[in-house]
Amino acid sequence: MIIALGVPGAGKTTVLKGLKGDYEVVNYGDLMLEVEKREFGIKDRDEMRKLPIEKQKLAQKMVAETLAKMDGKVILDTHCSVATPSGYYPGLPFEFLKLWNVDALVYVTASVEELKERRQNDPTRKRDVDDIALHDEMNKAYLAAYSAFTGAPAVVIYNRNGKLEEAVAKFQSLLK
Ligand code: AP5
């Protein structure tokens, strides 16, 4: 499994859409949203990170167990950490990482100004625009911990404005 990570709006999903090959892209947020709609009655993606932490953790664990049963070449689109009203919490607790076979951890990022602009210009979402720099910094700390725990390499890809093709090409070069 290859795991794609980054702060919201870094462009993970956009970069993954540009890849060619026989990898199946699985979005952790899509699977959690299904669980949280069913179990907790939420309506949209931007309510997810504001649910009480215990509810988020329950949905997160249910998804981790589903993923452990998946075979084949998978790219997981997810988060190093989730910024909640109760603080940052880990997207990939070690208890989940030990269930999966992780080949690489790929962190997609851009400058704080680019990230802020993308969030403000995304009409489909209610995105927060504060503390982007701190979240990016926290994520890199989580990334190093995940890499040390799994032994998988950590790769950082810059997805700069107007340079999407370069980010896609760099990610593509990591696929076997
Ligand atoms: P998820 O579905 O991963 O989050 P999302 O909010 O949909 O996606 P992101 O916000 O991460 O954005 P992105 O980086 O994919 O950027 P995009 O490609 O859209 O997760 C949803 C929720 O699920 C999370 O909030 C969390 O609550 C929960 N969750 C997920 N994983 C979890 C886990 N492991 N544990 C617990 N909870 C978890 O691009 C953004 C914008 O930028 C777009 O408008 C795009 O067109 C633009 N753009 C992208 N690249 C460029 C470029 N190069 N130049 C110009 N514009 C660009």
Q: Is the pTM for the entire model greater than 0.85?
A: yes
72 has pLDDT over 90: no
Residue range 72-81: average pLDDT? Answer: 96
Q: Please state, as a whole number, how many other Cβ atoms lie within 10 Å of the Cβ of residue 78.
A: 22
Predicted confidence at residue 80, as pLDDT, reads 97
* pLDDT tens for each residue of 4-52: 999 999 999 999 999 999 999 999 999 999 999 999 999 999 999 899 9
Residues with CB under 6 A from ligand 1: 6, 8-14, 27-29, 32, 45, 48-49, 56, 60, 77-79, 82, 91-92, 118, 122, 159, 161-164
* C-alpha of residue 109 to centroid of ligand 1, in Å: 11
Exposure string for 88-117, b = 16+ CB within 10 A, e = fewer: bbbbbeeebbeebebbbbbbbbbebebbbe
Query: What Cα–Cα distance (Å) separates residue 14 from each residue in 50, 71, 113, 154?
Result: 24, 24, 18, 20
Beta-sheet strands, E only, within 13-103? 24-27, 74-77, 81-84, 87-90
